[in-house]
Structure 1
Amino acid sequence: MSTQTPEIQTLGIIGGTGWLGGSIAKALLAKGVLAQGHLVISNRSCSHPLAREGVQMVTDNQALVDRSELIILAVRPEHFANLNINASGKTVISLMAGITAQAISKQTSAAAVIRAMPNAAVEIEQSFTPWFCFGEVDAATKSLVQRLFESVGTAAEVMEEDHIEVLSALSGTGPAFPALLLTALASQAMLAGIPADIAQLAAKNVVVHNSQLLASRDAQETLDSLIAYRGVTAAALQSLTAGPFEQQIGKALEEGAALARKGL
C-alpha cells in the first residue's frame, strides 16, 4: 500500500543537500512519503544526485518557496539572518537551534512555524525529533509533519516552545553524551592497565551494543534489578548514584538549554 501523503502537493527543503536536509530528503523519497517530483531542493549549482530521483533542483531560495506549500529550513542558525525569503501564507519548519518561532515568523512572514530538533541519527533513521507549532497548524499538516520525521526515526509534538530548547540539549546532542561516556569508560580502563584496543572494545560494547537491550526494557526497572542483585554492577552503580552524577547531567542540560534560549 502506498504511503504517499495527499495533503500537500510540494515540499521544499532549503539546505536539502546538507547532511541533515539530505538525510531527510533521501528518507522521504525512499519511503514514499512524497510523490516523485513533489520535492524541491535549493542548491547553488542546481546539480545533485537527488535530481536523478525526480527532485526539483533550484538555485534560488525564493523560487523554492514559491513552488512549495511546506518549507523546511535545514540551514545553520548563523545563516538564517541572511536568508531572505518571503513565505507569506505558508508553513515553515525550522531545524535550527536557538532561533525562536516568533523570530522566524517575523523574518519570513510565514503563516505558521514549526520548530523541530532532529539529531545526527537521521543518517541511520534513528533520530528522535520533538516538534512545536507556532501559529495555526491544521490536523492534516500536523499528521504530515509527524510522518516526515518518522521517516528518519521517531517524533513527538511538544506543547511548549521551551521544551524544544531543553530537548536541543538532550536529544539534539545526538551521539555526544554516549561518546562522552564511552571515552570516560575506556580511559578509566586504560588507567587500570588495560591495553587501549581492549579498553575501547569493552567500552564500545557497553555503550553501543548493550544499550540496545533498553529498547525493550524499562530503564529504571533494569537499574533496580541490577542493584538488588548486589553484585559488581550494583557496587559501580551505587558509587555513581551516591555522587553528583544526576546533578551534573542536569547542569549540562540546563547549560545547553540556556544557550538555546539566548540564541546561538
Structure 2
Amino acid sequence: MINKTLGIIGGTGWLGGAIARAVLAKGLVPAGNLIISNRSGNHPLAEQGARLVTDNQGLVDRSDVVIIAVRPEHFASLGIDATGKIVISLMAGITAQMIAAQTSASAIVRAMPNAAVEIGQSFTPWYCSAGVGTATKNLVQRVFECVGAAAEVQQEDFIDYLSALSGTGPAFPALLMTALARQAMLAGIPGDIAQMAAKNVVVNSSQLLANRDPQQMIDALVAYRGVTAAALQVMSQGDFEEQVGRALQAGAAVARKGLQA
C-alpha cells in the first residue's frame, strides 16, 4: 500500500475506470486516498469509499499523483495547474514537454496501457521525464502492475511506437481471428465451426506461447514439414512480417503527430 493520494481524471472511463478498480482491488491505495473526477458526482466506486469530485482542478489540488485518462483531443480543455504534482498521462501523442507546459507538473510520466486492463492482463510501457526519482518510478510500476505487466522505457519515442504495438491490445489478434474465420467460410466451412476454429487458434492455442519461445515453436513446426509448415511458408513468402512492420510504423507515425495532425 502507498501513502499517496491518487487522482484519476477520466476515472469513470475505459482505462481510468479499470485502473481505479484495480488499485482498490489490489489494495495499492486506501479507498479514501482515491479521487475520481465525475461530472455527475455519482459512481459505484464511491460505495467502496473512493472520493468523487466534479471539478478537475479540485481533484488535482487534493492529489499527490494525477493520472490523466482522457482522449488526447480533450487535453487542451482541461486547464489544470498541477504544480508540484506527479502527472501520469495515458494519452497517445501528447508529449511530456506539452504536458509540462500546460500543467506545470514537477514530474511527468507517459504510459500506454491497453484494453486488457479490464482483465488485469495489459502490458504497459512507461516513460518518465528527466529528474523523476526512484520512489516515483517504483510507484508508477506498482500502479500499472495492478492491471498486468509494466516496464520502463528509456526513450519517449518508444512510447509512440509501442502505442501501435502493445497499445493496440486485442486489435491484431482480432484481425487475425476474423481473417481465419472468413477464409474458412469461403472454403465452405459452416460459420459457427469456422468461428470456433479461429477462436481456438487465436485465444486458446496461443496460450502455449506463455511459456515457450515463439521462434523455437515455429522452427519445430517447419521442421516437421506438415500442414502447418506449408501454411507458414506461404505466409512468410507473402511479405507477412514486412506488412506487420509497415502497420506498426503507420500507427507510430499517427502517435508521433499527436495534436499536430
For the aligned pair, the TM-score class normalised by the smaller chain equals over 0.9
Structure 2: which 5+ residue stretches go unaligned?
none
Structure 1: which 5+ residue stretches go unaligned?
none
* Partner AA of 2:183 in structure 1: Q
Alignment of 1:151-230 (within 5 A): 151-230=146-225
TM-score, reference length from structure 2: 0.98
Give the C-alpha shift of residue 45 in structure 1: 1.2
Give the C-alpha shift of residue 5 in structure 1: 2.0
Cα deviation, 1:96-119, whole Å, max 9, x if unaligned, reads 011111101100111111000000
Moved runs in structure 1, 4+ residues, more than 3 A?
Answer: none
Query: Match for 1:50 among 45, 48, 66?
Result: 45
Give the C-alpha shift of residue 11 in structure 1: 0.6
Is 1:5 aligned with 2:7? no
**Cα-Cα RMSD:** 0.8
Is 1:262 aligned with 2:239? no
Q: Any conservation in 2 of the 1:36–1:54 contact (CA below 8 Å)? A: yes
Mapped to 1, the partners of 2:97 and 2:132 lie a distance apart of: 15
Mapped to 1, the partners of 2:36 and 2:184 lie a distance apart of: 47
SS at match of 2:35: strand
Is 1:66 aligned with 2:61? yes
SS at match of 1:159: coil
Is 1:135 aligned with 2:143? no
SS at match of 1:115: strand
* Partner AA of 2:154 in structure 1: M
Mapped to 2, the partners of 1:192 and 1:89 lie a distance apart of: 62
TM-score, reference length from structure 1: 0.97
Mapped to 2, the partners of 1:75 and 1:223 lie a distance apart of: 40
Mapped to 1, the partners of 2:176 and 2:210 lie a distance apart of: 19
Mapped to 1, the partners of 2:77 and 2:183 lie a distance apart of: 46
Q: Any conservation in 2 of the 1:149–1:155 contact (CA below 8 Å)? A: yes
Mapped to 1, the partners of 2:107 and 2:216 lie a distance apart of: 41
* Partner AA of 2:182 in structure 1: S
Give the C-alpha shift of residue 22 in structure 1: 0.6
* Partner AA of 1:242 in structure 2: Q
Percent identity between the two aligned chains: 71
Give the C-alpha shift of residue 215 in structure 1: 0.5
Query: Match for 2:22 among 2, 20, 27?
Result: 27
Q: Any conservation in 2 of the 1:114–1:133 contact (CA below 8 Å)? A: yes
